[in-house]
A and B are shown apart, each in its own frame.
Chain A
Amino acid sequence: MNAAWLPLTTLATSLLAAAVIFLLPEEARRLRTSINLLAAVSKIILVALMVVRVSQGYEDTFSFQIVGGVEFVLRADALGVMFAGLSSLLWLCTTIYAIGYLEGAANRKRFFGFFSLCVASTLGIALAGNLFTFLIFYEMLTLSTYPLVVHSGTAKALAAGRVYLRYTLTAGVVLLLGVVLLYSLTNDYSFASEEGLSPYLNDHRGLLTLIFVLLVGGLAVKAAMVPLHGWLPRAMVAPAPVSALLHAVAVVKAGAFGILRVIYDLYGIELSVQLGVTTWLAVAASITIIYGSLRAIAQQELKPRLAFSTISQVSYVVLGVSLFGPFGTIGALAHLLHQGFMKVTLFFCAGNYAEELGIHRIDEMDGAGKRMPLTSLAFTVGALGMIGLPPIAGFITKWYLGVGAIQAEMYWVVAVLVASSTLNAVYFLPIVHRLWFREGPAHGKGAWPKEQRLGRLETHGWLLWPAVFTALVSIGAGLLAGLPFSPLDWATRVAVGEYLP
C-alpha cells in the first residue's frame, strides 16, 4: 500500500502556508500567526505519521514525469523522514520564536512567507527521491533564504546577502555540473538504485572521482566546510530566528544531508571507500572541525562565535559519514539531529540576550544568569552539549563517532574529537562562567547595553519557551537515548536497516 499523498501533503503544508501568507495583507497578524502555527503543527503530525509508516516498513513514494525521462519524485524513506522530522519540529519552535522576536517589526509578511518557503524547501530536500528533485529544492532553498538574510535591509545585511548568493549560486552551478556529468555517464540520477555506480568503477574511475568532487564540493559550500565557509559568519547579520534556522536545520544541514545522500544512496558507502574519497573527506572534515573551533575562540561577539562553532560541528556529520562502519554512520545521522537541537537552543538564547538586554558581545554577558535564569540555563545546556559532556545529546554522537573512528582504525580522528572537545570547552566555558560566576548589571554593576522588559517572565514568553523546549529535548535525546524513537534509535534503524552491508 503506497500512500502517495503523504509526502506530497507534508510538503504542501509549508508551501500552502507560504502562499497564503503572501496573499494575506501585512496587517493580518493574528490570521497569519494562526495559519503559520496550524501548518507547523499539522506538518509535525504528518511527519509523525510518516515515521510510523516507515517503521512499519512502507516507503511512500509520489512521482510524476515532467518530461521524458525526467521524473519528480518524493519518497519518504527512513533517512529523509529523519531530516524531515528535525526540520518540522524546529520549524514549529522557530516559528513560535520568530513571532515573539518580530513583534511590532516591519515586513513580517515577507519574513514569514519566505520562512515557510525555506522550510518547504528543506522538506523537499529531505524527501527528494532523485537528484533532479533534490537539485530543485536545493536551489529553491538558496533563493528563499536570501530575503531572510537581508531582512533588515541595512548595507551590511545586503553585503552579506550578496556574499551568500555568490557562494551558494556558484556552488549550485558546480553541483549541476556534477549532476549533468553523472547523467551523461549513467543516464540515471535516482537515489537508491540497487547496484549504485559500482558497474562503472573499473572503466570510469577518474570520472567517478571527478563527479564525486563536483557533487560534494557543491554541497560542501552549504555545509560550510573550510575553505568554503566564508558566507556563514557574514550571514550572522540576519535576525536571530533566521540564524537559528540557517544554522541548525535549513541551510548547513541541507548541505550535510546532501553529502549523506551522495555517499549512502548515490555512490554507496563501499564504492566511496573503493574510490578512496572517504579518507580525503575525513581529512577535510577534521580540518574544518579544528579550524572552526580555533576561529571561534578568536571571536568577541556571541553570534559569530556560534557561527564558527556551527562550521566546526556540522563537519562532525561529514566526518561520521567518512568513517566506514556502523558506529560512524550512526554517529553522523544522530548528530544531524542532536546538533540541530543544541545549536538552535544556543541561537535562541543569543537572540534572547540581544532582544531583552541588547547583548551582542561576549564581554557584556557578565552576570546575565541572574537576570535571565531560564535562558542562561538553556544556553548552558547547549554549550555543555557542544563540548560533548553527558547527559546532553552531544556526548552520544561524540561517543559513536569516536568508537567508529577506532573501529575504522583511524586513530587520529579520536585525537581530532578530543581536541575539538577541548577547544569547545575553551570557547564555551568562559561564556558559561560569565553568565553564572561574574557580577554584572544584574548585581548592580554597570548597565545592560539596551534593556527592554519584554514580558512578565525574564523575557517574552514566545522567545523563552522555544529555547527551554529545545534545551529539554537536547537533554532528553542524550539521557534517554536508549528509548525507542529517540534520535539515536532512529539513526541506528536507518543505518542498520539501509546502509550497512
Chain B
Amino acid sequence: MITLLLLAALLWPLCVAGSAIWHAYRTPAANRHHFSLLWISASWPALLLAYGGEAQWSIDAWMLGGYWELNALSRPWLAFTAFLWSLAAVHARGYFVAEQANAQVGDNDAQRRLQRLALLWPLTFFGNVLLIIAQDIASFYLGFALMTFAAYALVVHSGSDDARLGARAYLILAVIGEGLILGGLLWAAGTAETLTLEGVREGIAGAEQGAMMALLLWLGFGVKAGVIGLHVWLPLAHPVAPAPASAVLSGAMIKAGLLGWINVLPLGVEGLSPALTQLGNVMLVAGLAAAFGAALYGVWQRHPKAVLAYSSISQMGMLTAMVATGLAAPDVWPLLLPGVVLFAAHHALAKGALFMGTSISEHMPRWPQPLLFALIALPGVSLTGALAAGLLSKWGVKSALYESQHEQLIMLLTLAAIGTAALITVCVWRQWQQRQSEGGNAFQWGAWLVALIAALITPIWLPLPDTSMMAPPMEEWLGIVWPFPVGVGVVAVSAYLLRSVRLTAPPAGDLWWTYSALVVRGLQSVRFIAHTCERLKIASLARSLAFEKALMGQLQRWLPGEGWMRRHGSGLMMALAVVLAFLLMWEGLR
C-alpha cells in the first residue's frame, strides 16, 4: 500500500509534467489552462505519503543502487515540503490569473512563460521529494540536481533584465555548489567505500581528512542554504521570482541544503576529530555572522521580497549555528534535532506565508486594511518567537541548549531574533508603502490564509517522532517573547531619527557586485594570458615553418645532383659493386 503511495508520489508530478507537454501541443492556446486542478494536485500524493508511516525501499536496478526511506527525519520533512508546495500551487493559480488571461487572448510571451512554468514546476517538486526520501547518494544527488536546475525556470519566469540577472546568479552559484557537493561526496564515499548517505556520515566521522570533506559538503549545500558568502543569489533571485515561486524557493528548497547537511555531516557523533570540531566552530561563527549581518543589511532594502530574502538568510544562519553545535558539541544534537526540524518546518510555512503575503499586499482583497496587514505580519511575528508555533520552536531549540548549558549561544540566538523582528517590521512597512488594491482572488488569499494558519499551528500537524514538544513554562515566555517588541521599537525609533536623512538603499545582492568585479578583473588577466599564449603559438609556428622552408631549401640544392646520378647510374652501380666486393673480401680475409 505504502509502496503504491510512493509510486504515486514520484510518478504523479511526472505525469503532470507530461500533461503540460501534451497540452502544449494538443490544446489550442485559447482554452489552455496551465494551472488546472490536475496541475495543483501534483504534490498531493507526496503529502499523503508523509502521513503513511515509516517504510524502506531498496531498488538494485536504480542507478548505483537505490535505497529510499521514510524515517523520523524524512517524514516531517516531506510533510512540510509537500504541504508548502501544494499551497504554493494553489496560490499560483490565483497569482497568474491575469497572465493566464493574457495568454488565452494570444499573448505569445505569456503563453511561453506559463508553459515553461507549468512544465518545470512539477519537475522541481519531483526533485525535492526524491532528495528527501533518498538515502543513497545517487538518488539524493539526482533529486538535488533536478530541483536546482529545474528551479531556474521559476526564478527567471518574468524574463525581465532583473529576473535574468537573478536567475544567472542563482545558476552560477548552483553550478559551483554542485561541483563542491560532487567533490565532497566523491571524496567521502570513495574513502568509506559506500553508496549511502549514512555511510558518508560515518565515513566523514572516521576519516583522517574528514574535516576537509565536511567543509566541501558544508559549502556545497551552503549555496542552497545561503551560508554567508554564498548567499548572494537569494536577495537577487527572490525579488524577481513570482510570489509562489519565492515561497517554495525560500520555504522548501533552501531547506534542502539544510537537509543535505543533516544527511551527510556527522552530527551528534561522539569523539570527532579536533578538525571537525573546529569546523563546527567555524560554521557556528559563519551562521551567527549570517544571522546578524543579513538583518543589518536587509533592513535597508526597499523591495519587501528582498527584505524577506535577507530574513531567510538570517534564519538559515540561525539554523547553521544549530547544525554547527552538532559538530562542536555532539552531545546536544539528539535533543536539538527535533527542535531543528520544527524550526525548519515552521520557517518554511511562515516564510511561504510571508512571500505569498507580498502578493496579497499587491492585490489587496476588500478587507479592512488593518486586519489585512495584521494578518500579513502574523507569520513574521511568529517567526520572531513571540507567539504560537514560533514560540514553541524557539523553546524547543532553547530548552535543548539549556540542558547542555550553551547560554551564550542562546543569548546570541535571542539577539538575532531582534534582527528577525526588525526585518519583519521593515518588510511589512514596505508592503504598506507599496500596497495596491487590485483585488486578489480566492485562490490567492485562500492559499495564503491556509499557509498562515498552518505556520501558526505547525507542531499539531507535523509528524514529529514524539510529542515531546512542550509549551514553555510561564516564566520562560518573557525570555522568548521580548525580542519582538524590541525589534519593532528599534525600527520605529531609527525610522523616526533618520526621517530627515535621505539614504540610498544599498544594492540587493551585496557581495555579488564585489564578486562580479573581481571575476571581471580575473577574466581580463586570463584573456591577457591567452593572448600571450596565442602570440607565442603563432611565433613558434612561424619559426618552425621557416625552419622547414630552410631545410627544404638546403635539400633542394642537392637536386641537380640527381640528374648527375641518373646519367652516371651504371658507373655508380659498378663502383658500389666493387666496394661491396672489397668489403666481402676483407671480411673473408679476417
Contacts and interface: CB of A to CB of B under 8 A. Distances in A.
A436 B191 CA distance: 39
A429 interface: yes
A482 B176 contact: no
B252 interface: no
A482 B60 contact: yes
A482 B182 contact: no
A443 B110 CA distance: 12
A426 B523 CA distance: 14
A391 B186 contact: no
B61 A480 contact: yes
A403 B179 contact: no
A145 B277 CA distance: 60
A388 B145 CA distance: 10
Q: How big is the B interface, by class?
A: 20 to 34
A389 B187 CA distance: 17
B113 to A, nearest CB: 10
B171 A390 contact: no
Contacts of A405: 186, 190
A404 B187 CA distance: 10
Nearest to A370: B112
A444 interface: yes
B63 A429 contact: no
B360 interface: no
Nearest to B191: A406
B61 A482 contact: yes
Interface stretch (A83-91, A132-140, A411-419): A411-419
B190 A422 contact: no
Given A414-B186, A437-B156, A482-B63, A395 B179 contact: no
Interface in A55-87: none
Interface in B189-209: 189-191, 193
Contact of B175 (A407, A429, A439, A483): A429
Nearest to B171: A429
B498 to A, nearest CB: 42
A390 B187 contact: no
Given A405-B190, A407-B190, A482-B64, A443 B182 contact: no
B293 interface: no
A217 interface: no
Contacts of B189: 403, 406
B62 A406 contact: no
Nearest to B180: A418
Contacts of A436: 116
Interface in B410-448: none
A396 interface: yes
A391 B63 contact: yes
Contacts of B152: 437
Contacts of B182: 388, 398, 402, 417-418, 421
A436 to B, nearest CB: 8
Nearest to A486: B61
Contacts of A414: 183, 186-187, 190
Contact of B62 (A327, A388, A482): A482
Contacts of A406: 186-187, 189-191
Given A396-B63, A437-B156, A482-B61, A402 B112 contact: no
Nearest to A489: B61
Interface in B119-174: 138, 141-142, 145, 149, 152-153, 156, 171
B187 A479 contact: no
10 contacts: A406-B190, A407-B190, A421-B178, A421-B182, A422-B176, A425-B175, A437-B116, A437-B152, A482-B64, A482-B66
Interface of A: 327, 370, 384, 388-391, 395-396, 398-399, 402-407, 411, 414-415, 417-419, 421-422, 425-426, 429, 436-437, 439, 443-444, 478-483
Given A396-B63, A483-B61, 10 more contacts: A390-B63, A390-B145, A391-B142, A402-B182, A402-B190, A422-B176, A439-B112, A481-B64, A482-B63, A482-B64
Among all A-B residue pairs, the 8 with the closest Cβ atoms: A406-B190, A402-B186, A390-B142, A403-B190, A482-B61, A418-B183, A422-B179, A483-B61
